[in-house]
Amino acid sequence: MKNTKNWAVLLMVVCMFVLAACGEKGTVTPDNSSSEQPAATTSETAATATPEIEAAKEPVSIEFWYGLGGKLGENVEKLIAKFNESQKEVIVKGIVQPDYTESKKQLQAAIAAKKVPAAVLVADMDWARKGYFISLDEMIAQDTAFNKPDFIPTFLEQGLVDGKQFFLPMYGTTQLLYYNKAIFERNAIDLNRMKTWEGVASVAKEITEKEKGKVIGWEPMWGQENLIDAVFSKGGKVISDDGKTLLIDSPEWIETWSAFGDWIHKDKIMSIHSGGQGWEYWYKTIDDVMKGTAAGYTGSSGDQGDLDFNIVGALEQPSWEGHEAKPAATALLAGIPALASPEEQQAAYKWLTFFNNTENTAFWSMNTGYIAVRTSALEDATFKAFGEANPQSQIPLMQAKHGSAPFNDPTGGKITDALNIAKDKVEIENIPAEKALKEAKEIAQKELDKALGGK
């Protein structure tokens, strides 16, 4: 009888403990009633769910580092505020970096100091292999709302490292043509001429001559990305199919880079802005077109948030005569540093999957021009209506459908660095493209051989 009584008391205590624990733990439903956001759909509600974070007396505070300024940065902060207001488990503090490159430099220093942010808009495959980032596979497996088929495949796949998901796509981008409508109208430019690079050059020449030096015909954005896009659209590749030989001195590369070098230095129908702090060169290029001192420029789909489409129009990147346009469609990826605490890592995952859920990826695309990473965004009524009222917003999506995957440097950036130096030789120093590219290949091939285990 004594034993029976003791067991009954013990059972009551256990039940009270379980009930108390259940009362302290739960999931907060995000408040998506903001007037700046479209109403959540049933599928969206499911998409926002993430693995539950253990209840604590204080919310988990994390830093999110991102290299975006201007209106892009403002929209990041809007999403951070929305996230912080939607639940009580995590507080995100956005830390702005001058640009993507600086974000990576700062992260490298933070890793060395063993004081890292919990989430960062940086992806590096080599760093992932070295253990600087965590694999997200376990969190994804526990997240019943993670709808893999809903992600645009090429964007999600760009976050894979040796078959594991180390990075999540936050948004996609591709490089477009933007032109000043008034300049094109007064020069009676037929937009069909802009479908090939040869046509773009002829338009740039015509405008430069007619405007008598007051307007430059075109401004390619400073950087190797646009030059590589043009190579892809001529059928060129960075590396052989077996992954062993660089092809950056092939005819496709030399012809393409030579053409841009000539247009800038010999023909003087194109020009570039270079250098400066952060995105300074980028905004100077945009300003030239907005103010009417340049007829157009080649820039990111993400520029749309900074452009006035009463002044400018947008077009897909052209092909070369006899070829198909194949510019890269690139995912901007975020990861979680391995040195962050387990609680911070869980909090970071919750934040990153909030950023790229259906409603928010649609918001981001509408407000920035970057490409939504989920196909379900295309079903969003607000997104559809926005596309009808703003046809330029659909151009990045159309281009991404036939775009190339971006080059994934197997050397951890050494090939990219060599191309970056070659780009400046061609665009700034007026060194012949063939010479610049052959020098780049000699350096980069050695790095590739090392990465492949050669001597």
All structural domains of the chain: 42-173+331-401 (3.40.190.10), 175-327+409-451 (3.40.190.10)
Q: Which residue has the higher pLDDT, 47 or 189?
A: 189
Q: Is 165 helix (H, G, I), strand (E, B) or coil?
A: strand
What torsion, rounded to 10 degrees, do the Cα atoms 126, 128, 131, 136 define?
Answer: -170
Distances (CA, A) of 337 to 63, 74, 120, 142, 174: 11, 24, 8, 19, 27
Kindly tell me if the per-residue pLDDT of 213 is higher than 90: no
Check pLDDT > 80 for residue 15. no
Any idea of the CA torsion for 446, 104, 365, 158, to the nearest 10 degrees?
40
Backbone angles phi, psi at 256, to 5 degrees: -65, -50
The total of other beta-carbon atoms located within 10 Å of residue 4's CB is 7
> For residue 329, is pLDDT > 80?
yes
Residue 31: per-residue pLDDT: 37
pLDDT in the model for residue 378: 84
28 pLDDT more than 60: no
**Which is it for strands 175-180 and 296-300: parallel, antiparallel or unpaired?**
antiparallel
- CA-nearest of 119, 138, 148, 174 to 47 is 148
For 112-142, what is each residue's pLDDT tens digit? 999 999 999 999 988 999 999 999 999 999 9
User: How far apart are alpha carbons 45 and 175 in whole angstroms?
Assistant: 32
Percentage of the chain exceeding pLDDT 70:
87
Burial (0-12, 13-18, 19+ Cβ within 10 Å), 76: buried
More confident position, 42 or 363: 363
Q: How large is the average pLDDT for residues 247-263?
A: 98
pLDDT band at 401 (very low <50, low <70, confident <90, very high): confident
Poorest-pLDDT segment among 29-43, 90-104, 324-338, 430-444: 29-43
Q: For the residues 191-217, what does the mean pLDDT come to?
A: 97
Give the integer Cα–Cα distance in Å for 334 and 104. 11
Q: How confident is the model at residue 51 (pLDDT cuts 50, 70, 90)?
A: low
SS3 content of the chain, % helix, strand, coil (to 5): 50, 15, 35
d(CA 243, CA 409): 10
Q: What's the pLDDT score for residue 8?
A: 39
Nearest to 229, CA basis, from 324, 371, 123, 104: 324
Query: What is the arithmetic mean of pLDDT over 87-93?
Result: 97
**Mean pLDDT, residues 420-449 taken together:** 98
| Closest to 350 (Cα-Cα) out of 73, 145, 112, 68 | 145
Q: Is 227 left (phi over 0), alpha (psi -120 to 50) or beta?
A: alpha
Residue 107's pLDDT band, with cuts at 50, 70 and 90, is very high
296-300 sheet: strands from edge to edge: 219-220, 296-300, 175-180, 312-315
Range name among 127-136, 255-264, 385-394 with the lowest pLDDT average? 385-394
Render pLDDT for 267-288 as a digit per residue (tens, 0 to 9): 999 999 999 988 899 999 999 9
Q: What distance in Å separates the CA atoms of residue 412 and residue 213, rounded to the nearest whole number?
A: 43
More confident of the two residues 398 and 94: 94
Predicted confidence at residue 154, as pLDDT, reads 86
Residue 53: per-residue pLDDT: 56
| Residue 192 clears pLDDT 90, i.e. is over it | yes
Between 454 and 305, the more confident residue is 305
Task: Provide the residue count of the chain.
Answer: 455
Give the range with max mean pLDDT: 10-24, 195-209, 401-415.
Answer: 195-209
HSE-up (13 A, CA, CB side) for residue 261: 21
Please give the angle made by the CA atoms of 104, 108 and 111, to the nearest 5 degrees. Answer: 135
DSSP state of 407: P
Query: What is the pLDDT, as a whole number, of residue 52?
Result: 55
Q: Would you call 216 exposed, middle or buried from its count of C-beta atoms within 10 A (0-12, 13-18, 19+)?
A: buried
Residue type, 240: S
pLDDT at 30: 35
Residue 414 has pLDDT above 90, yes or no: yes
Query: Is the model more confident about 391 or about 182?
Result: 182
The residue whose two tokens read 């490409």 is 371
Answer whether residue 297 shows pLDDT above 60. yes
Q: What is the mean pLDDT of the chain?
A: 88
Helix, strand or coil, per DSSP, at residue 130: coil
Higher pLDDT, residue 226 or 40: 226
Assess contact for 319 and 194: CB atoms under 8 A: no
When pLDDT is averaged across residues 403-431 and rounded to a whole number, the result is: 94
Beta bridge partners of 314: 178
Paired strand residues for 219: 297
Question: In angstroms, how far is the first alpha carbon of the chain from the final one?
Answer: 82
Per-residue CA distances from 190 to 204, 255, 308, 394 (Å): 12, 26, 21, 21
Alpha carbons 178 and 304: distance in angstroms, whole number: 9
pLDDT score of 47: 41
Q: Taking Cα atoms as reference points, which of 297, 339, 293 lies closest to residue 314?
A: 297
126 or 109: whose pLDDT is higher? 109
| pLDDT confidence band for 339 (50 / 70 / 90) | very high
